[in-house]
Amino acid sequence: MNNFNWETLSLLFPEWAIDTRTGEKDKTFSRNFPETPNFSKGKIQFAFNNYGIELNLPVIPSWIKQTKCLERTYQKLSNQVCEDVSRELDKSFETLEQWRTFVKKYENGEWKGNLEDHLYFMNNNLVEMYDYFGSINKSPSHILSRINTLPKNSLNLKWVMYSMLSNNIVSSGSSTTCSTIKGETLSKCIANANEIYSYAQELSDLGLSS
């Protein structure tokens, strides 16, 4: 368990818990994401400043003999992962709060906004976040992936900058599957996504979506 860490992370914006019809908060949200982390088999759920966080952890294989010592070690490592993630989220809190202005909301009979009310991360050497900004084939990561296929010697300075942004994209290679944005850590991944999203409208105006 030397490299014990979370495998996937779901982050729910506070807007996720709001009933679009009544504007009231879903009462089950606080039960599912308590202030004190809830540890269950291979999963941790907790509230982070009104955000819902769910971590999925490696599970001890059933063929390994379960002992008290092993259980204590697993719990200790799980606690450490939870603390590490909380620290990473603290670093990213300002950015996440800024993103809330882009989260889709139902207002005056229509949906407004570009970003889904939840984010999904994977952790495998690098942290990757699915790009849920806009529709799949119009997302910033999809457009940057297309730019990254162009010959570098044909690009002007502006497009070279776009190409450099694409270094933090993992292309899905499909117009029907989300690409991901990567970073060395959770906070770095969010920071890289924030830089890319700052060019979202500019990239959309290029007309490269398909």
Per-residue pLDDT tens digits for 34-69: 999 999 889 999 999 999 999 999 987 777 777 888
- Using pLDDT thresholds of 50, 70 and 90, give the confidence band for residue 152: confident
Domain match, 14 and 96 both: yes
User: What's the whole-number average pLDDT of the chain?
Assistant: 89
More confident residue, 21 or 154: 154
- Using pLDDT thresholds of 50, 70 and 90, give the confidence band for residue 28: confident
More confident residue, 71 or 180: 180
pLDDT score of 105: 83
Domain match, 142 and 53 both: no
Query: Is 210 part of any domain?
Result: no
| Amino acid making up residue 155 | L
Domain match, 133 and 101 both: no
Helices then strands (H, E): number in the chain? 6, 10
- Using pLDDT thresholds of 50, 70 and 90, give the confidence band for residue 27: confident
Domain match, 92 and 179 both: no
Domain match, 134 and 86 both: no
Report helix, strand or coil for 127: strand
Query: Is 111 part of any domain?
Result: no
pLDDT score of 209: 64
Domain match, 12 and 90 both: yes
- Using pLDDT thresholds of 50, 70 and 90, give the confidence band for residue 210: low
pLDDT score of 82: 96
| Structural domain ending residue among the three candidates 38, 71, 105 | 105
Residue 160 has pLDDT above 60, yes or no: yes
pLDDT score of 2: 57
Domain match, 196 and 135 both: yes
Q: What is the pLDDT of residues 96-144, one digit of tens each?
A: 999 999 998 877 777 788 899 999 999 998 999 999 998 877 899 999 9
Report helix, strand or coil for 134: coil
More confident residue, 22 or 3: 3
| Structural domain ending residue among the three candidates 105, 137, 169 | 105
| Structural domain ending residue among the three candidates 105, 139, 155 | 105
Query: Is 120 part of any domain?
Result: no
pLDDT score of 34: 93
Scanning the chain, the segments in alpha helix (DSSP H) are: 29-32, 68-99, 140-147, 157-165, 186-197, 200-204
Domain match, 89 and 28 both: yes
Domain match, 94 and 161 both: no
DSSP 8-state symbol, 16:
G
Domain match, 35 and 100 both: yes
Q: Residue 138 has which token pair?
A: 């119009």
Q: How many structural domains comprise the chain?
A: 2
**How far, CA to CA in Å, does 201 sit from each of 114, 123, 205?**
11, 28, 6
Residue 14 has pLDDT above 90, yes or no: yes
Q: Is 0.75 surpassed by the pTM of this model?
A: yes
What angle in degrees, to the nearest 10, is found between the helix axes of 186-197 and 140-147?
80
d(CA 11, CA 43): 14
d(CA 18, CA 112): 15
**Domain that includes residue 60, residue range:** 8-105
Query: Is 1 part of any domain?
Result: no
Domain match, 73 and 133 both: no
Nearest to 190 by CA among 90, 82, 96: 96
C-alpha 19: how far from chain center: 22
d(CA 194, CA 168): 11
Q: Residue 120 has which token pair?
A: 């999904």
